Amino acid sequence: MEKLKVKLISYSMLVEKKGNDVKDPDRIVAESGAISHSKEFKDLSSDKVEHLINLLRDLGHESVFEHVSFTFSIEGISRVCSHQLVRHRMASFTQQSQRYVPLDPDFIVPESINNSEFKDDFLRILEESRDLYKKMVQAGIKKEDARFILPQAVETKIIVTMNGRELRHFINLRAGKEAQWEIRAVALEMLKQAHKVSPILFDDLYKKFID
Ligand SMILES: Cc1cc2nc3c(=O)[nH]c(=O)nc-3n(C[C@H](O)[C@H](O)[C@H](O)COP(=O)(O)OP(=O)(O)OC[C@H]3O[C@@H](n4cnc5c(N)ncnc54)[C@H](O)[C@@H]3O)c2cc1C
């Protein structure tokens, strides 16, 4: 997984900062939840924020988690992985287009193949597909057609935005041992970075999958 790069590039922030050290996404969720019982968006203490977020989760009142969002840039994954990622319908995606990328596609090679007797054949076929792809493009075949020769191992990059509810759902499905290794690595990295900026909202998942 040395090629994988996951980076949290933006997340929800308050325009008017509050006094204590509660992180903005946690505060936005808790104070949005609290508004159903009081008139104002209050300056809640850290303990109260934690209590409210846990209560919302335990009650299944998770629509409140949709008030915060997280945007990640993900590089160095295969199209196998990105295909699984884009099945998550509540997220927003922008993926590198194969119609406009440079001529020299790269590939992701699973460790199991890299360490096996199939490595040489696997790498040779990747090279052959890349060579034919380049030859076809140079001969005037459009990239949108030439790309049909590229295997699922072809490397891609993608920007993903999820609200807090969807990110929690995604992590629950994709960070567990039953998930495929590549998307699992992506989900675990997203969890680590989301937990840094929203430690209360992601605390239970951090304990479940990382601690
Ligand atoms: C281990 C694993 C193996 C898998 N294997 C396969 C496989 O073999 N073949 C395959 O096709 N897929 C497979 N998938 C993908 C899986 O079926 C889902 O498409 C994918 O995980 C997205 O999950 P989701 O629909 O819950 O999430 P999202 O699309 O992110 O949706 C989030 C939630 O919103 C709600 N929602 C979204 N859209 C609708 C809707 N139209 N109607 C009602 N509620 C909705 C649901 O509550 C849903 O859980 C696999 C997933 C995992 C984790």
pLDDT < 70: residue spans in the chain: 19, 38-42
Q: What is the pLDDT of residue 208?
A: 97
CB of 143 closer than 8 Å to CB of 98 = yes
Tell me which residue of 199, 189, 196, 118 sits closest to 209, measured CA to CA. Answer: 189
Residues 144, 183 within the same domain: no
Residues 66, 9 within the same domain: yes
The answer to whether residue 80 sits within a structural domain is no
Query: From ligand 1's centre to the CA of 190, what distance in Å?
Result: 18
Q: What is the pLDDT of residue 100?
A: 77
Ligand 1 contacts CB of residue 37 (under 6 A): no
Full residue range of the structural domain in which residue 9 is found: 5-72+157-209
Phi, psi for 47 (deg, rounded to 5): -60, -40
Q: What is the pLDDT of residue 98?
A: 84
Domains of the chain: total: 2
Q: What is the pLDDT of residue 76?
A: 97
CB of 165 closer than 8 Å to CB of 198 = no
User: Cα dist. 142→28, 129, 145 in Å?
Assistant: 48, 16, 5
Query: From ligand 1's centre to the CA of 178, what distance in Å?
Result: 15
Q: What is the dihedral of CA 109, 112, 115, 119, to 10 degrees?
A: -50
The answer to whether residue 95 sits within a structural domain is no
Q: Choose one of 134, 152, 170: the last residue of a domain.
A: 152
Residue indicated by tokens 């490397």: 155
Question: Does the ipTM surpass 0.85?
Answer: yes
Q: Choose one of 152, 168, 188: the last residue of a domain.
A: 152
User: Cα dist. 37→27, 50, 58 in Å?
Assistant: 16, 16, 17
The answer to whether residue 176 sits within a structural domain is yes
The answer to whether residue 99 sits within a structural domain is no
Ligand 1 contacts CB of residue 153 (under 6 A): no
